[in-house]
Chain A
Amino acid sequence: MIRLSDVRKVYHTRSGDNVVLDGVGFSLAMGERLGVLGRNGAGKSTMVRLISGAERPTAGRVERYMSVSWPLAFGGAFQPTLSGIDNIRFISRIYAQDFQRNLAFVAEFSELGRYLHEPVRNYSSGMRARLAFAISMIIEFDCFLIDEIGAVGDARFHDRCNHELFGKRGDRAMVLISHDPGYLRDHCNRFALLHGGRLALFDDFDEAYDRFREAIGLVAAPSIDAAAAVDRAALIEVAQHRALGDERFRLLVREGDWRRDARDWAAAEERYAAALALHPYQRSYWVQLAHVAKERGAFARAEAAYRTACALGEPAADVVEHLRFVVAQGGADPAAWPIHPYRKGAAGTQVSGRPDVEALAWLLWPGAGIDDAEATDLLRRHGDGDRLAAAMIADPRFAAAAEVAPAAGVDGEILRVLAFAHRTPADGAAAVAQLPPDAPAWPVAAAAGAFRDWPHVQQALTP
C-alpha cells in the first residue's frame, strides 16, 4: 500500500513559486494499476518522483508500506561512463542481489551481447532503453513506477516489456504515465487526471478520458509565430512541428488512430479531419485521412487527400499505389491522372492541396462551396497553384467574387502565403486582416495586389 496525503510540491524559480502539486492524495494497493493522464507539464513525472522517494514533498505525506521501484525505463538511473556490466554490478550491490543471475537475465532480455562491455554512453537510445528496462526488472519490487515506457524501442521490445510487466508482474501495484492514453486504457484498472495541481480519480477510463479532453480543450492554441513561416514552403515545413507540438492536434489524431484500429472509419475520418482543420499543412495525417476515406468507399475524398499529402511533400512512392486504386475505383484511368509531386519554389509554382483549394475558393468562388468531386477534379488537372487559381478565375463562378461576401472560416495563414506571397509575412498578414468579413473580399484583395507574381492568374484577370 502506498498513500499520499495532501501532497504539495512547490518549485522555487527565478520568476516566482511554481506550484506543481497542490493537495494530491490517493492510496494504491497491490494489484491496482493507476494510469495518470495529464497535459505536458501537469506534474505527472514530479508525482512519480515523489512516490519513488527521489524527491520530497514541500508539504504532506508520502507513506510506503511496500517496496517501490525507481521510475522505470528511466535511462538516467545508471552511470554513462561505466559499462553495462558495471552498471548491473552496481545495482546488484545496492540491492544485495546476485550479480551473476542478474547479468544472465539482463543479457538475455536486453539482447545487447558484447555491447554490455561498452560504456553506456556509446549506446543508442534504443539500446539504453533495453538496458534500463532489463535492469529495472532484476529487482522484484511490490510497486512499479512506469514513466513513459513506450517512448523508445521497437514493437517486439514493447511486447516483451508488456509481458514482463503485466504478464509476469500483473499482481503488483503500478503507477503508469504515458503520452498515449490508449496504453493506460489497456493496462490500468484505475485512472487519474492530474490537472492544475489537483488529482481526480476515476474507476472508469472513459470518464477519466472525457475529463482529460476537457482539460486539453481549455488549452489555448499555441501562439503562432508568423515570421517563422515566410512563405508556403516554410509554412509546410513548420506545420509538421507545430501540429505535433499542439496537444489538441495530438489528442484528435490519437483518437482517430483508435477509431481506425477499431475499424470505425467514419469516426476516424471525422477526428482526422478535425485535427487537420487545426493544422492543414500536416502531411502525414492527410495520408491517414485518405486511408480511412478509402475504407469507407469515399474515393473522391480519398483521392483529394492523397493528392494533398503529396502536394505537401509526402513521398509519392508511398502513396502512388493507393492513389491509383482510388482513381480506378472512382471510374477514371489512373494513368491519365498521375501524381503531381512536391516541388520547391514560390507558392504559385507549388502543387496545391485541398486546403489551398478551399482557401482559393473562399476568395474566388464565394458562396459556391467545393465538394469532393470538384476538389479532386481541380487537384487532378492543375500541377501548380498559379494554373489552378487561373482556372478558377476563368470559371463562371468567379463572377460572384465581386458581389458576394464570403462565408466564415478561412485559414488566414494559407490565404496569406498564396495571395500575398509577394509581401513580407507581417504585411501579408495585415492584408489578410483587412479583408472585410461581411462584404465581397476579392475586390479588396485585388486592390492589395493579390497574386501579383502569378503569371497565369494575371493573364486570366486581364480582360
Chain B
Amino acid sequence: MTAAQAPVPVRPPPPRLRDSLRVQGRVLVALLLREMLTRYGRHNIGFLWLFVEPMLFTLGVAALWTAAKAYHGSNLPIVAFALTGYSSVLLWRNMPGRCIGALWSNLSLLYHRNIRVLDIYVARVLLEFGGATMSFAGLSVLFIVLGMIDPPKNILEVVGGWLLIAWFGGALAITLGALSHQSELVDKLWHPASYLIFPLSGSAFLVDALPAAAQKYVLYIPMVHGTEIVREGYFGSRVHAHYDLGYILPFCLVLTFVALFTTQWVARRVVPE
C-alpha cells in the first residue's frame, strides 16, 4: 500500500471482543512470566519461592502461636487457627505491597501499546494471589496428611471466602498502586497501616469471642468478613462465624470502581521514561 493508492484513511473495524481478550491474555501471561523471572530468577529453587516464602511465614507464625499458646477465644487447634488466619493476612497484605511502586519500575513497558497500566497491576495481583493460594493449599494438605488438622468441612465456602479476601486485596492493591505513582506518601503510610490492621483483621481472633460492643466495630473492617467465611468453611459448626455479605460485597464493588478510576487517572498522566 502506498500513499498514492490509499489517500483516504479507512478506519479498521473495531476489534472483536474475542481478539481483544486474546491480546489481553497474551499480555498478562507474558507479564506474569516476566515478573516471575525478574523476581525469582533461575537461581536455586527459582520461582518455587513464589509459594515457599509465604509458606515459611505461615509456618513460622503457626509455630510461634503454638509455642506461646496464643489466646484466640475458641477451642480450635492453634495450628488450624494460625493457618487460616495468617494465610488470609498474607493474601490481602502482599498484593498492595507488590503493587505500590510497581509502575515506576515498569515504566518502559508502556512503550508497548498493548500493555496498559492496569495490566502491570493485574499481573502482580495475580502472581501474589497464586503464591498465597498455593501456600495455603499446600500447607493445608500437609497438615491434613500429617493428621494435625481435619479436612475443611465445606471446601466451596473456603474457596468463596478466600476469593472474597483476594477480591478486596486486589482492588485495594490496584488503588494503592495507582495512588503511589502520584504520591510517595502511600508507600510510607501503607507499611504502618498494614501492621496496625493486622491484629484487627480477624486473623488472630474469632469475632464471636469478642464482646458484642466490639463485634459491631470490628465488622466494619472488610478483611474480617472474608476470614470469618474461610473459618466457617474450614471448621463448620465448631465456630460461630460473623459476616455480612450485604456489607462486604458492595464494599468490594465500590473499591473496584475506585481502583479502575484511579488507574485510569494515573494512566492519563504517566510519563514513560
Report A's interface with B, CB cutoff 8 A. Answer: 1, 3, 11, 27, 29-32, 49, 52-56, 63, 65, 68, 70-71, 74, 76-79, 81-82, 86, 89-91, 93-96, 171
B98-139 near A? 1/0 per residue, CB < 8 Å:
000000000110111111000000000000000000000000
Candidates A29, A49, A63; contact of B272 at CB < 8 Å? A49
**Contact A82 B111, beta carbon cutoff 8 Å:** no
**Contact A79 B38, beta carbon cutoff 8 Å:** yes
Known: A65-B9, A76-B273, A90-B34. A29 touches B111 (CB 8 A): no
Report B's interface with A, CB cutoff 8 A. Answer: 1-3, 6-7, 9-12, 26-27, 29-30, 33-34, 37-38, 107-108, 110-115, 267-268, 270-273
**Contact B272 A53, beta carbon cutoff 8 Å:** no
Contacts of B273 in A (CB 8 A): 76
What are 7 inter-chain pairs, A to B, with CB distance below 8 A? A1-B6, A49-B272, A55-B270, A65-B11, A89-B33, A94-B30, A94-B115
Q: How far, in whole Å, are A86 and B30 apart by their CA atoms in the complex?
A: 11
**Contact A94 B268, beta carbon cutoff 8 Å:** no
Q: How far, in whole Å, are A31 and B110 apart by their CA atoms in the complex?
A: 26
> Shortest distance in angstroms between B162's beta carbon and chain A's nearest beta carbon?
29
**Contact A94 B3, beta carbon cutoff 8 Å:** no
**Contact B6 A82, beta carbon cutoff 8 Å:** no
Known: A29-B6, A31-B2, A54-B272. A94 touches B114 (CB 8 A): yes
Q: How far, in whole Å, are A29 and B267 apart by their CA atoms in the complex?
A: 28
Candidates B2, B27, B108, B268; contact of A78 at CB < 8 Å? B108
**Contact B30 A31, beta carbon cutoff 8 Å:** no
Contacts of A81 in B (CB 8 A): 38
Known: A71-B111, A77-B112. A82 touches B37 (CB 8 A): yes
Nearest 9 pairs between A and B by C-beta? Answer: A93-B30, A29-B3, A70-B111, A1-B9, A76-B108, A53-B113, A54-B272, A65-B9, A54-B111
**Contact B1 A82, beta carbon cutoff 8 Å:** no
Q: How far, in whole Å, are A68 and B26 apart by their CA atoms in the complex?
A: 19
Q: How far, in whole Å, are A31 and B2 apart by their CA atoms in the complex?
A: 6
Report the number of A-B residue pairs with Cβ-Cβ less than 8 Å.
Answer: 79
> Shortest distance in angstroms between B56's beta carbon and chain A's nearest beta carbon?
24
Contacts of A76 in B (CB 8 A): 107-108, 111, 272-273
Whose C-beta in chain A lies nearest to the C-beta of B271?
A55
Q: How far, in whole Å, are A96 and B27 apart by their CA atoms in the complex?
A: 9
Q: How far, in whole Å, are A176 and B27 apart by their CA atoms in the complex?
A: 28
Whose C-beta in chain A lies nearest to the C-beta of B272?
A54
Whose C-beta in chain A lies nearest to the C-beta of B27?
A94
**Contact B108 A94, beta carbon cutoff 8 Å:** no
Whose C-beta in chain A lies nearest to the C-beta of B268?
A56
**Contact B108 A77, beta carbon cutoff 8 Å:** yes
**Contact A52 B34, beta carbon cutoff 8 Å:** no
Q: How far, in whole Å, are A272 and B147 apart by their CA atoms in the complex?
A: 88
**Contact A74 B6, beta carbon cutoff 8 Å:** no
Task: Specify which of A49, A54, A71 lies most central, judged by the most chain B CB atoms within 10 Å of its CB.
Answer: A54
> Shortest distance in angstroms between A52's beta carbon and chain B's nearest beta carbon?
6
Candidates A79, A82, A95, A171; contact of B2 at CB < 8 Å? A171
Beyond A52-B113, A65-B9, A76-B107: 7 further Cβ-contacts under 8 Å? A3-B9, A29-B3, A54-B111, A55-B271, A56-B268, A77-B111, A90-B30
Contacts of A96 in B (CB 8 A): 26
Candidates B3, B37, B268, B271; contact of A32 at CB < 8 Å? B3
Contacts of B37 in A (CB 8 A): 82, 86
Whose C-beta in chain A lies nearest to the C-beta of B26?
A96
Candidates B34, B268, B270; contact of A79 at CB < 8 Å? B34
Whose C-beta in chain A lies nearest to the C-beta of B114?
A94
Task: Specify which of A1, A74, A82, A171 lies most central, judged by the most chain B CB atoms within 10 Å of its CB.
Answer: A1
> Shortest distance in angstroms between A329's beta carbon and chain B's nearest beta carbon?
54
Q: How far, in whole Å, are A321 and B107 apart by their CA atoms in the complex?
A: 52
